[in-house]
Every structure is written in structure tokens, then in C-alpha cells.
Amino acid sequence: MRKKIVAANWKMNMTQAEASRFVEALLLRDVGEITDVEVVIVPPFTAIAKVTEALGNAQNIKVGAQNMYWEKNGPFTGEISAALLRDLFVHYVVLGHSERRTLFGETDEIVNRKVRVAHEAKLRPIACIGETLEQRDRGNVEKILAMQLRGSLAGLTPKDLQETVVAYEPVWAIGTGRTATPEQAQEAHAFIRKTLREMADDTTGEHVRIQYGGSVKPENARELMSQPDIDGALVGGASLDPRSFAQIVKAARER
Ligand code: PGA
């Protein structure tokens, strides 16, 4: 039985004060008491320490980072390493988000280097994949997903694969208000799971948690997350408001 995982990707938003206020409001909404869903807050680097501080001993809410570099340390101005993230008590790291792929030229090969280094450092990657609208219209969804998955997660042991979270985020659904239908999302998730079985083995395929991302809101969260292969959500826009994010976390508990 896979535990659902719901993550708040704040992107380039939230000052330290806003981040503390958000966490306090989220805890007030009883999210800190929920143990059957894993919750991850993914602030910009500058608010990570504040989020950890505000969370106090809320055991089931973890902190994530939005990116990292694969080198251990050294002359890489502007970059952040896995060890520096661990130093801030970060558990998860989002890698290969479509905004990084399109705006910052990240390829599957780059994502793969980062994913491997994250595992070495005992950080859990949330590896993002997803097709563009053009690729969908041309009927290439499965081809693209298989390529991104095999490329981004190449060379991982079954154990590391099982500790990787995959986020399926159709590019056309990110920040557009246009969500994949539950059927479209389930179809893609089932294909991703089948590919993971082929890449490793059946047990691994069954273990990996696959989040859906792309315009997830309180109104559509329950139906999406009740699909058999959808194990949670990576939430952008709706995660900036503690009320909506709490509703999405709670929707993950309903079947
Ligand atoms: P969105 O973003 O919820 O605003 O569509 C999702 C994401 O980019 O992770």
C-alpha cells in the first residue's frame, strides 16, 4: 500500500515571513495531525530554514528543495549542493521540473546526474516528467514519458528507484488552469508504472509513488487522487494558500 504524498511547490514565491505564516496557518488546519498522508513543503531556498523552524516537531510534514547541483562543493557560483540541503534538514528535492527543463535547458541526462547524487546524499528525489501539448496532439505521450523516465532514472538500483517519487506533470496543465482529466492522468500513471516494472521489477513498480501535477485544486484533487495509480499531487498555484493546500492534503485521505 503506497502512502500518498502531497507536495507544495512554491516556486519563486514566499518571503520568510510569509512562509512562517503559511506553516502556522497550515498547522492550525490540522494538517500536522495527519499521519496517513505525507506532506512536503518545497519553499524557495531562502525560506527553507524558516519553514523547518515553523514546523517544529510536526513529524509528518517534510521539507523539500526545488533544485540542486550535482557537484559536491567548489566553484559553482549560484548553485546549491545536496550536502548544503541536508545541512538544512531537507528530505526531498524536486528535479527536472518542466520549468527547469524549458527555461534552464535541463535535459534527461542532467536530471539523471542530479537524481543519482541526491540518492548518494540520502535525499529523496521527486523526478518530474510530462509531455507538451504538441507531443500529446501528435500521439506521442507514451514515447515521451518512456524516454524521460528511462533517461532521468537511468542506472538506479531497485532500492533507489523505490525511494524516488515520480511526478507526472503534463506541461500543458502546469499553471494553465487546465487539468488532465482523471482518466487521462490515470492512463499516463499506469503507463509510467508499467515502464518502472520493466526498468526494474514488479515489486519496484508497485512501490514507486507517482504524483500528478498540473492545476491541482481543492475542486479536482479528490477525483484525481482516487485513481488507482495516482499516489498524490505536486501542487503549484493552489499551494500558496494554506486553506486550499490543506483541503488538497485532506482530499488525499478520501477514497
Ligand atoms: P500548478 O503547478 O499547480 O500551478 O499547475 C504545478 C507544478 O508546476 O508543480
For ligand 1, atom 9, the nearest C-alpha belongs to 236
Mutate to test the pocket of ligand 1, among 5, 9, 67 (most ligand atoms within 8 A of CB): 9
Rounded-to-integer distance, Cα 82 and Cα 122, Å: 9
pLDDT tens figures, 179-214:
999 999 999 999 999 999 999 999 999 999 999 999
The predicted model scores a pTM of 0.97
Q: Is the CB of 175 under 6 A from ligand 1?
A: yes
Q: Which three cell numbers stand for residue 11?
A: 516556486
Please give the class, per CATH, of domain 4-251.
alpha beta
Closest C-alpha to 92, from 71, 55, 66, 70 = 66
Taking the domains of the chain in order of start, what are their residue ranges?
4-251
Residue 1 pLDDT more than 90? no
* % of the chain with per-residue pLDDT over 90: 94
Residues classed as catalytic: 97, 169
Helix then strand count (H, E) for the chain reads 12, 8
Residue 255 pLDDT more than 80? no
Q: Are 180 and 145 in contact (CB under 8 A)?
A: no
Q: Which three cell numbers stand for residue 78?
A: 549560484
